[in-house]
Amino acid sequence: MNRRLPGPLRIVALALLLVPLLGGGFAPPAATGDDLSDAQAQQRAIQAKIAAQKRQVAQLNGLQADLRSSIRSTSQALAGINADLTMVKAQVVRAAAKVKAVQALYNSQVAQLADLDGQLAAIQAEQDAKDVQLKQRKALLAERVRAAYDSDRTSMLETILSADSFSDAIADVGYLIDIGDQDKALAQQIADDQKTLFALSQTVLDTRFQTGQLRAATAAQKKVLSGSLAELKGAKARLAALQARTRRQLAIQQTAFKKLATNAAAARAVLAREARENAAIDRKIRQIMARQSQGGGVPSVYNGTFVWPLSGTVTQEFGCTGFSWEPPFGSCRHYHNGIDIADPLGTPIHAAGAGKVIYAGPLSDGAWVVIIAHSQDLISLYGHVKTRIPVHAGQFVSAGQLIAYVGMTGHTTGPHLHWAVKLNDRWVNPRLFL
């Protein structure tokens, strides 16, 4: 049979039930806002950041591939015969700019990973706090259930009938009803806490896994970037060495030119003579070509590509130049109609392409040359060669065949080959045919 607790003991029991509700050491931390919604929002925000970082890794891959391609192209140009220093220098500058872009994106990736690590630590701390909070609420609910069970052993009717007054009865019944509502609220909070804790736990696990993958991908990018930096450093060193060698050759030629023109008047005379002789050479080439065309044997079309006639140091490129000993032409204050390649006296010179030798001998300026017709509208000229020429006019030669030796015939500032190409009676850049 149910028994009602004596008055003093009932008051003690009620007090024990009230203590957790009024605050103090036994009360759980108060929940602020919708914890589950906050946890889910955190999860979505983290996933958005991770997705953005994955896109950034893909972008970094693309930049790295472009950078490696640029550096390979630069290295190949430097390793080739007679590199165009102006072009290669521009390639190095562009590659260096690409390195900076890759480095900036990589640094951004590292910083964002560190930010993700910080957020992960904060979520982990939040998860730990929620776990403690959940345990406290579960313990509190268990205590309240036990206390409510002891209290409910006295029925509500008995509580009313045994009350000392009607006011006491109403107070006791109201208290019992409040206890039930608060227990339901606490149970619901525990269920919400469990969902929140699960969401936080999933966020921590997913973030830890995906940041691990991002960290590995970023480390791989660092390795690739380090390799590219090493290659670019090597390319810069080779370019510097090539530039130094070219400067030495140019210094030799400039010294020789100063001897030819010790004053402004003499320099003007040299330039005027060069202009006259260039015009004379053009006329002679036209005459030679006209005679050879009449005689037949010159191919109508050239379908091949050129090879370098000499492997040396390019001291002067085709076109407008800063070299004061070259005559003016068109809009150029100083113009060079070919490519100068310096090499020691006697170095073998080879035909740039297959064709018919239409001239081998001296020109009006005293320079000995070999001229090859590759077709009716394409010829190549090899100037300043030694007088001992192993080919003769009318002879057919193949690409790479020995045709002359590096000399210093004519007006020259040092041993080198002047290689020029004429297309449709106009001097053009030989590099276009390589």
* Contacts of the segment 38-47: beta carbons below 8 A, 24+ positions apart: 38/196, 39/126, 39/196, 39/199, 39/200, 39/203, 40/199, 42/123, 42/200, 42/203, 43/199, 43/202, 43/203, 43/206, 46/116, 46/119, 46/123, 46/203, 46/206, 46/207, 47/206
Token representation of residue 118: 């910080």
Which of 219, 250, 281 is the last residue in one of the domains?
A: 250
* Together in a domain, 316 and 210: no
259 belongs to a structural domain: no
Give the whole-angstrom CA distance, residue 366 versus residue 383: 10
pTM: 0.53
* pLDDT in single tens digits along all 434 residues of the chain: 444 444 444 443 443 343 343 333 334 444 444 777 888 888 888 888 888 888 888 888 888 888 888 888 887 777 766 777 778 888 888 888 888 888 888 888 888 888 888 888 888 888 888 888 888 888 887 787 777 666 655 555 565 566 666 566 566 555 555 656 776 787 787 788 788 888 888 888 888 888 888 888 888 888 888 888 888 888 888 888 777 777 776 676 666 656 555 555 665 666 666 667 777 777 777 777 777 766 667 778 888 889 999 988 888 888 887 665 566 666 777 788 899 998 999 999 999 999 999 999 988 778 899 999 999 899 999 999 999 999 999 899 999 999 999 998 887 777 899 999 999 988 899 999 98
Give the whole-angstrom CA distance, residue 67 versus residue 106: 14
Provide the domain count of the chain.
2
- 359: containing domain: 265-433
CATH of residue 366's domain is 2.70.70.10
1 belongs to a structural domain: no
* Together in a domain, 197 and 311: no
How many other C-beta atoms lie within 10 A of the C-beta of residue 407?
23
Amino acid at 236: K
Give the whole-angstrom CA distance, residue 201 versus residue 123: 9
